[in-house]
Every structure is written in structure tokens, then in C-alpha cells.
Structure 1
């Protein structure tokens, strides 16, 4: 039985699966900040982090068979709280350097 589809033919020419030639090219004139992205989520990200912290702490009230789930919830919420405090201090002191 002859295959009509060339890319299914095991003895035929293999398709080009690599990245395009321009994939790793350096584009000095195209910087993300030129079109609006400055590497931060802004107020939405900060509010979302506080909402996530509240949800994680509310999840502690769920039924757990042992303390490992509670420990993970507290650890992750604590990490997010520490990050939020660091971010508040970083933004407050950004112009003082």
C-alpha cells in the first residue's frame, strides 16, 4: 500500500522541526518596555496575592487527616506574606536609592 501523505512516509524527506532561522536573533530595537510591558503585574497582581493568601488560610479549616496539609498551607501562605511585605518595602524605597 502506497502512502499518499509525504510526512507519513518513513523513507521520505523528514520535515524541518527546528526553530526558525530568526529565532535567536538579537533585536536591539524591540524591547518589551517599548510596547507597555515593564515586568510587573501592578495593582492587580498585588491584590491577587492577598486574595490567594486569604484562600490558603481559609483552606486550613478543611478536613485534614494529618498535619502535613495544614503545614504546607501555612508555609505557602507565609511565603506569600513575606514576599508581599518585601514588595511593599521595595516599592516604598525605590526612589530613595
Structure 2
């Protein structure tokens, strides 16, 4: 009579003692939560341009270093999020 238990592969590259999730095959992430958190971070960076410092959008009329940092960080986040979206969209082609 055939056994009803699943056979475990003896040649696993990852030891289940180190990573218990390898036994049941989950090594995923949280793609929707990552996108939501990323776009929220972009919004938070850009909304900080309107703050209590005298930057370009706060009535100071001068471009400050902190404004440049906030814009650069927001742009890098947007590029990363768009690359992530494109990678997920074309993942089935691999």
C-alpha cells in the first residue's frame, strides 16, 4: 500500500532548522503593502517641503539643502516603485 505522507527532499539547499518556512514553501513578500508604504513615503517627503522651515514652498523664496534632499529622496523612491511595478508586471515573461 502506498504511503499517504509527503516525502521530504533530502537535497534541500536550505536547512529547515534555519528557516522553518522552507518546509512549506513560503518565501514571499508583501507586494501591496510595499507599494502602499512606498507611495506614502513619497507623499510624506513631498509634504515636508511645506513645513516650518523657510524653504522654497514655505514662503522663504530660497531653495534650501533640505528641500533638495527631500526631492531627491522622493524621486529615488518613485523610480524604485516604478521599477518594482514594471518588474511585477512582466514577471510572467521570464
Q: TM-score range by the shorter chain?
A: 0.5 to 0.7
Aligned partner (choices 29, 32, 37) of residue 27 of structure 2 = 37
How far does residue 33 in structure 1 lie from its aligned partner after superposition?
A: 4.4
Dislocated runs of 4+, deviation >6 Å: none
- Normalised by the size of structure 1, how large is the TM-score? 0.61
Aligned residues: 70
Kindly report the root-mean-square deviation, in angstroms, between the aligned alpha carbons of the 2 structures: 2.1
After TM superposition, the structure 1 stretch with the greater mean CA deviation from structure 2, 56-65 or 28-37, is 28-37
Where does the alignment leave 5 or more consecutive residues of structure 1 unmatched?
Answer: 1-26
Tell me the equivalent position of 1:28.
Answer: 14
For residue 45 of structure 1, report the CA deviation from its aligned partner.
1.2
The structure whose residues are more often helix, as a share, is: 1
Which structure 2 segments of 5+ residues have no match? 1-12, 55-62
Secondary structure of the residue that 1:60 maps to in structure 2?
A: coil
Which has the larger Rg?
A: 1
